[in-house]
Structure 1
């Protein structure tokens, strides 16, 4: 399992840095809500599933960065969730692709 997590480390580092840069500018009332509500919308409207994630240390405590994506619709969303349970969409886009060696991490529910 460590080997599989190591594959995602560069991606998660990039997402964490990107999230830090964008979180102040995009964390508005429109893009933040309870995690369950956002996840439900990502699953129902865009057919996205959890593709990768990791912890991001912040001065106010750790946050979780998640990459939600759909090979079916081609969309992806980067979600930052704070310990309070409030999630903010920090990036979203189209034309999602997966590299051939990026296997899902086992035992992590989406």
Structure 2
């Protein structure tokens, strides 16, 4: 829980949209990525494109197990979506007939 509060506090300290514009914890992408790398040793593990054209990325530190999910808008603003512990990299394959 302390990690979540520390990350939220640091991201809130980054220059970004005013609270009236966005209630999320956001900042310039470069600053958020540097924070995740410097403070938590996290690097990008996966990425995808959301329906709203936001780039969603998963950052993690395999040694400590910390992870963070971010969303980046076309403007370059990156917002914290979620973070946690016990990250595990998986390479599962879909078993025929057991799809979602």
TM above 0.5, yes or no, is: yes
Helix, strand or coil for the counterpart of 1:44?
helix
The number of aligned residues is: 71
Deviations 1:24-76 (A, max 9, x none): xxx536x1000100000000110001000011122xxx110000011112100
Q: Distance in 1 between matches of 2:78 and 2:37?
A: 15
Correspondences of 1:65-84 after superposition (within 5 Å): 65-84=56-75
User: Who is 1:64 aligned against?
Assistant: 55
Helix, strand or coil for the counterpart of 1:45?
helix
Q: Which has the higher helix share?
A: 1
Structure with greater Cα Rg: 2
2:48 is the alignment partner of 1:54: yes
Relative contact order higher in (CA < 8 Å, ≥ 6 apart): 1
Stretches (4+) displaced over 3 A: none
Q: Distance in 2 between matches of 1:73 and 1:84?
A: 31
Q: Distance in 2 between matches of 1:54 and 1:68?
A: 12
Helix, strand or coil for the counterpart of 2:31?
helix
Q: Distance in 1 between matches of 2:39 and 2:88?
A: 19
